[in-house]
Every structure is written in structure tokens, then in C-alpha cells.
Structure 1
Amino acid sequence: MIEAKSILEMAQGAITEQVNAEVSKIVDNILDVNTEAKKKRQLVLTVDFLPSGDRAQVSITATAKSKLLPNNAIQTTLYVGADSTTGEIQAVEMVPQIPGQQSFDGDIQEEPKILKIAGGM
């Protein structure tokens, strides 16, 4: 008697390999600290069956896809205005402390990043 197998074992195990590859992506996404921890990820396995006209053969196509979470949005704040000495329009990134000031944990605040904007006032 022939032993019953899972559809996942067909195609010489390629369907299982594809599922396992997507599960690996999901686990990596769960462990990524740049994504939300408590939101669900999803594995979608689509198996299409296409019978021949005489129904003697069935062509099977399987596709495994993972639905992952995107990276968390990164936020910053810019002050926008003209440089008082040159009149050049610029955007300066807001920093948590005065540049050069030392925080309680010993870090020194770096100078803010300045984005030069084409044109002037």
C-alpha cells in the first residue's frame, strides 16, 4: 500500500523548502527591532490545481509568500529659516540638547545637521 503524503512534500520537497524560506523571513522580521513587536506577520501558501481536459492529470502550482511588517517610521524635526549671515535658506535638525553640552550619561551633543536649500530670501 502506498503511504499518503502531504501536498507540501510534492515537487521533490520544493514546496516545503519555499514555505521554510518564508518562515525564516518572518522570524527575521519579528526579531528586527526596527519593526513593531506585537503586530502579526502572515504566511500565505497558494496552491493552484489545473486539471487536464480528460481529468487524468492535474498540474499543481504552489507559491509561498510572507507578509512582513515594514520598518518603523523614523521621525525628526527641522527648524526652517534663513541663515542670518548669508541669507541662504536652510533647515536645521533639532537636537535634544545644546551642541557641546554633556548629558547625564556622558555623551556630548554633536552639532545639528544642516540642510542647505537652493534659493534665498
Structure 2
Amino acid sequence: MADETPKPAGTVTVSLSQAIPANGQEVSELTFRKPTAMDIIEVGGNPVRIDMNHSDPASTIDFDGRRMSAMMSRLAAVPPSAIARMDTNDWAACAWKLSDFFLPVQRTA
């Protein structure tokens, strides 16, 4: 039976294709809290890189693997070793889900 506990606003939950060991148990999903500026500072910078000089910036989004992995660990409150054991497709799915937090927002006047 799925956990019916309501998730706080601003969180992102990703179901994993393969469970990973984290905090003494097997987990099949990760719930990430909304990051703060301190999270970016603590992991050494923005984990999402964008080439704004390219004619189509959406095609030039890239992840800094170390920073994104550290960010996943912080935001999901799991040890870095849990993130390291993730299936590569699960890691990529989490990175893309989190990327919206780190991309520039187009504000209207």
C-alpha cells in the first residue's frame, strides 16, 4: 500500500525503477524538498548548466554530475551512497525533475 502521507508544497517525488538502500531501509521513491540558496552554496554552485550563447538554450542544458548528486542527497535527506547506487535512468529522471528549480524564470513586467 502506498504511503498516503501528504507531501509538503514545493516538493518533488520521483518513483524509482529499482529500490535503493537509504537510511537503513529500501526506498522505491525519493521525495525532494524545495532547495534554498544555501543548498546551492553548500554543493558548490548551480547543478544545472545552461549555454545561453547558443541559439536554442533549451537544447544546451547540462547537469554537473557531482553537484546534482550532492543536491539530490541534500534535498531527499539520503546519504550520498544512496544516490550513487541509483539506476542511471532513475538518476537522470530525478535530475530533470529537479532542474526546474535551477533554471532562470522568465518574469513579465
Shorter-chain TM-score: which interval?
A: under 0.3
TM-score normalised by L of structure 2? 0.21
Which has the greater radius of gyration? 1
Q: Which has the higher helix share?
A: 2
TM-score normalised by L of structure 1? 0.19
Q: Which has the higher strand share?
A: 1
Higher RCO (CA < 8 A, seq sep 6+): 2
